[in-house]
Amino acid sequence: MAVPPPPPPLSARLRQLCDDLIDHLVPGPAMAMAEQIRAKLAAPLTITVAGGVSSGKSTLVNALLGQRIAAVDAGECTRVVSEFRYGTHERVEVVGVDGGVTTLPLNRGRMPDHLGMPVERVRHVVVHLSNALLNHISVVDTPGLNTVTEVNEEATANFLGVSGREGEQTADAVSKADALVFLLPLLRQADAAVLRGFAKLFGDSSLSAANAIAVLSKVDRLAKGEDPLAAAAPIADRIAGELRGVVSAVLPVVGLLAESAEAAVFTEADARALAAVAAVDDPLDREDMLLTADDFLTFDLLDLDEPARRRLLSLLDLYGLRVAVAAADQGAHTASDFLRVFGEASGFRALRDVIVRRFAGQSEAFKAHAALNDLRRASYLRNDPDNVRALRALRSPLEKLEFDPAFVRLRLLEVAQAVSRGDLRLPDELMGDVLALADAGDPRSVVGSSAFAGRDAAAAGAARWSAWGNDSRRSPNESRMARMVKEAFESMWLEFERGAR
């Protein structure tokens, strides 16, 4: 007896659903939205970097891309949304609010200083780079969200698809953020409230704790004279507890050191300049030299001209200089020697592992979940009367897909999303289930690999969620979410049961 072929991947089935929908639509907002959903399913995972003004977003983007391309100084490009995509013909496309596109060249491998039109007329900027990472993901750099002008905040919200406006903006209301990296630079108690508010801003998107992380981006300013990553660890743990259900991790990073380590800006000339700094070997002189930036620029026992000193400060700041001097004392003398040390001291490798391995590795589920949400919203669109019948007809195939066993992962993401928004409040044990299941590439890994132990753990999980969901105090929505997780555990139990036979 022939074994039936496995069903197509989730994204392929959703692309087919989009194709079928488009065939039955006439031009209008619904068709524009369906075409955007279809295009997004075929595109690389979109990772959005957000946070407050001067939080280090562009510096982190440069480190992630491995080149200093994003503008870090105050200027036009830092006031608009910039999306970095793969392209063999490197260029910058400035998309105006009127839909027009102006193409500009890169300025010696960097973003241009001027965009060719007033910032108020720019909708967003698309930067095409021949960068291997962008084959798998696209990266979005945003203006600051919590302290920017209303114009910039609205522009960012519109681009990310969270404005909720209808009419001409309907097509733009499709969420573009598949995963979120949110920077918290100041380590204030209020930072948690800022991110919770930002999570609510994404209420109509597919973001949840499973595909959102927070970054403590300037921890080198945290503790003088000790390892800032170690000093930041308990703070990261505290903030992770406060943001449980909003982000999946809180990671400390020395952003500037990460950029210098990763973005191909540190040269052999810089290594030789560091040798001159390390030549000041008296401990008291070193302490005086590296006390402040002004002290470093004016220290008279250092055999290094002012431009070289300013460049080292721009690359490393005082903490990075202290790391470099210590590395030189241990024998580092080439650029590659120092870059290796900078990479370890920055904490960036853990962050890159999350972004590249976990986010990109789960892109199929993230994109399918986003498309499912977008198509569900499209089916209730009210501002396109010519397409109402075709949109209503979309609801039945969507319901069938949602009950398909292959969509268990997406239902778990929906529960995680509800937790992230604050719509679903859970006891600690059940919260732990949601976070573990949503974060795992294969949900079965949460209950163990052994058939018998996994079966028992899955049965216990189903019982926990059944008891909570059947409590008379639960709302209908809480009971529905509980059934989703219970069914996920039951599905795992059934797989282990079949395996045991």
Q: What is the pLDDT of residues 424-461, one digit of tens each?
A: 888 888 888 888 887 765 666 666 555 567 788 888 88
pLDDT for the residue 451: 57
Listed in sequence order, the DSSP H helices in 330-450 are: 335-346, 348-352, 360-361, 363-378, 388-393, 395-402, 408-421, 428-439
DSSP 315: H
Q: Mark the ranges of the chain whose per-residue pLDDT is less than 50.
A: 1, 3, 146-151, 159-175
Q: Measured between alpha carbons, how far is residue 453 from residues 53, 166, 443 in Å?
A: 49, 51, 15
How far is Cα 438 from Cα 359, in angstroms, rounded to an integer? 12
Q: Report the greatest alpha carbon distance in the chain.
A: 86
For the stretch 459-467, contacts whose Cβ atoms lie closer than 8 Å and that sit 24 or more positions apart, written own/partner, are: 459/489, 459/493, 461/433, 461/485, 461/486, 461/489, 461/492, 462/486, 462/489, 462/490, 462/493, 464/429, 464/430, 464/433, 465/430, 465/433, 465/489
SS3 label, residue 450: coil
Tell me the two tokens of residue 424: 């679903």
Residue 156's nearest CA partner among 176, 136, 171 is: 176
Beta bridge partners of 216: 252
- Strand 122-129 to strand 137-141: parallel, antiparallel, or no bridges (unpaired)? unpaired
pLDDT for the residue 46: 86
Chain mean pLDDT for the chain: 81
The pTM for the full model equals: 0.77
pLDDT for the residue 242: 79
CATH code of the region 11-254+348-361: 3.40.50.300
Residue 256's nearest CA partner among 265, 247, 248, 243 is: 265
SS3 label, residue 232: helix
pLDDT for the residue 48: 86
pLDDT for the residue 340: 95
- Strand 91-96 to strand 82-86: parallel, antiparallel, or no bridges (unpaired)? unpaired
